[in-house]
A and B are shown apart, each in its own frame.
Chain A
Amino acid sequence: MKLQHYLGGLEGLDPISLETRVFVEAWEERIFGIHTAMMALSPQLNLAATPSTFGTVWTWADLRKGAESMNPFDYFKFRYYEKWLGGISAYFVANGYITQEELDARTKDFLTSPPAMPKGGDAAVDARVRTYLLVGDDPKRDRSTPPRFASGDVVRVANPNSVDHTRVPGHLRNKHGVIDSIYPDAYTYLCDTGPDGIGEAMPVYCVRFDPEALWPGNTEKHFTFYADIFEAYLEPATAS
């Protein structure tokens, strides 16, 4: 069990941050841009090949897996883009694009007497990144089988073995909800999550939950909780 899969409803936390900026340090834009370029250049996308040397798969799922596998204290300790910087740097080292020694040495250079940033690169790389941002990566597919549930059905959220990544909010596991709506067609996920159960195209539902059933006697009134849930995570209602 990973705390990061069970954040919803966690108690004892501090007042809400009111920081409305997207980036609080200038460097954060750089790591955001690198991540976005990696997603755009990732080879599984159906986009024109470019001279970029990036040839391994990188999606949101890879970034999320890294964050979900962190020590939970570190997850709270490090700011959002600090986690990205750590995860993405480690990925480039693990996949042989750079070595840790190179990165450490270059970091030291920037700390002591910052060298000029290198110039150049093929414009086709940036063109592909732009295309990715404007077009996206549509997960919708034709539906090969009818959806298992209908609007109004009472369902129970499954409690799968989520090895390293999941899209089941932990606070909904084993809880009953009602199908509020069914999204058209079917949706793939960015990777196969193994025994957790998603990856292939499947129906997705918007499921309505009574917060009182999620946190009995410990939530607010006149409040309804909705979550979008892949079909593999839903089971018929069971007597409780």
Chain B
Amino acid sequence: MQRFEYPTDRETANAARARALESLLIEKGVITSETVDKIMSIFATEMGPFNGAKLVARAWVDPAFKMLLAENTMAAVEKMNFVTKGAGAEGEHMRAAINTPEVHNLIICTLCSCYPWPVLGLPPYWYKDPSFRARAAREPRKVLSEFGLDIDPGKEIKTWDSSAQIRWFVVPERPAGTDGFTEEQLAALVTPESMMGVSMVKPPAR
């Protein structure tokens, strides 16, 4: 539903302003002509949800790793060969919330859009939307049902609000039908939404 009026050239004007700003900043030596592209390339290949998926897959096949991830998330992250090691912007201190048959976890940021960059990359639009941030704090089941995820009324929901310097992610449950899968095969099933708590990891298509 559109509640506001926007100029008809909204997006072309935005695009022109962003390009104008970038070109002036390059001319004035604030950034280089490569800066933005190089940043985007890091998020495409080195800091992204592909890292989180590897953590989840490792936790599914290695119970000791899963326990370490729960109790000392950064120590577990350091064991992976991520380029950020146990650090990285917006991931200096991360915590994993582990889904179980009894508990479903959901991460939110009611004040802004805090997100664990090194393992999840950049947040999808829905996570940054004020409606999600407002509603998930009070009525998570209703919100999750809008994502198509109906949580059993007997299952506890834990919502984690990222209001300080700690960044959260969810370790979803391993889907049925994945016995004997390699870590790589398992990681391919893991979506960003499942690591934020708004979807389950789906069993592989048959």
- A residues with a Cβ closer than 8 A to B are 4-5, 7-11, 13-22, 24-34, 36-37, 39-41, 51-54, 60, 64, 67, 73, 75-77, 80, 82, 85, 88-89, 92, 97-98, 102-103, 106-111, 114-115, 117-123, 125-126, 129-130, 132-140, 166-169, 171, 183, 187, 189, 204, 206, 211, 214-215, 218-230
Contacts and interface: CB of A to CB of B under 8 A. Distances in A.
A22 B110 contact: no
Nearest to A111: B16
B25 A110 contact: no
Contact of A183 (B30, B34, B166): B166
Contacts of A97: 24-25, 28, 30
Contacts of B39: 32-33, 36-37, 129, 133
Interface stretch (B51-59, B60-68, B156-164, B178-186): B156-164
A76 B130 contact: yes
Q: Which of B121, B159, B163 has the most CB of A within 10 A?
A: B163
A189 B25 contact: no
Nearest to B35: A37
Given A14-B1, A89-B21, A227-B161, A26 B15 contact: yes
Contacts of B131: 13-17
A204 B165 contact: yes
Contacts of A221: 153
B36 A33 contact: yes
B176 interface: no
A117 to B, nearest CB: 5
19 contacts: A13-B135, A16-B143, A16-B146, A19-B125, A22-B122, A29-B40, A30-B36, A37-B36, A41-B30, A89-B21, A98-B28, A110-B23, A117-B33, A121-B33, A167-B164, A219-B139, A221-B153, A226-B161, A228-B161
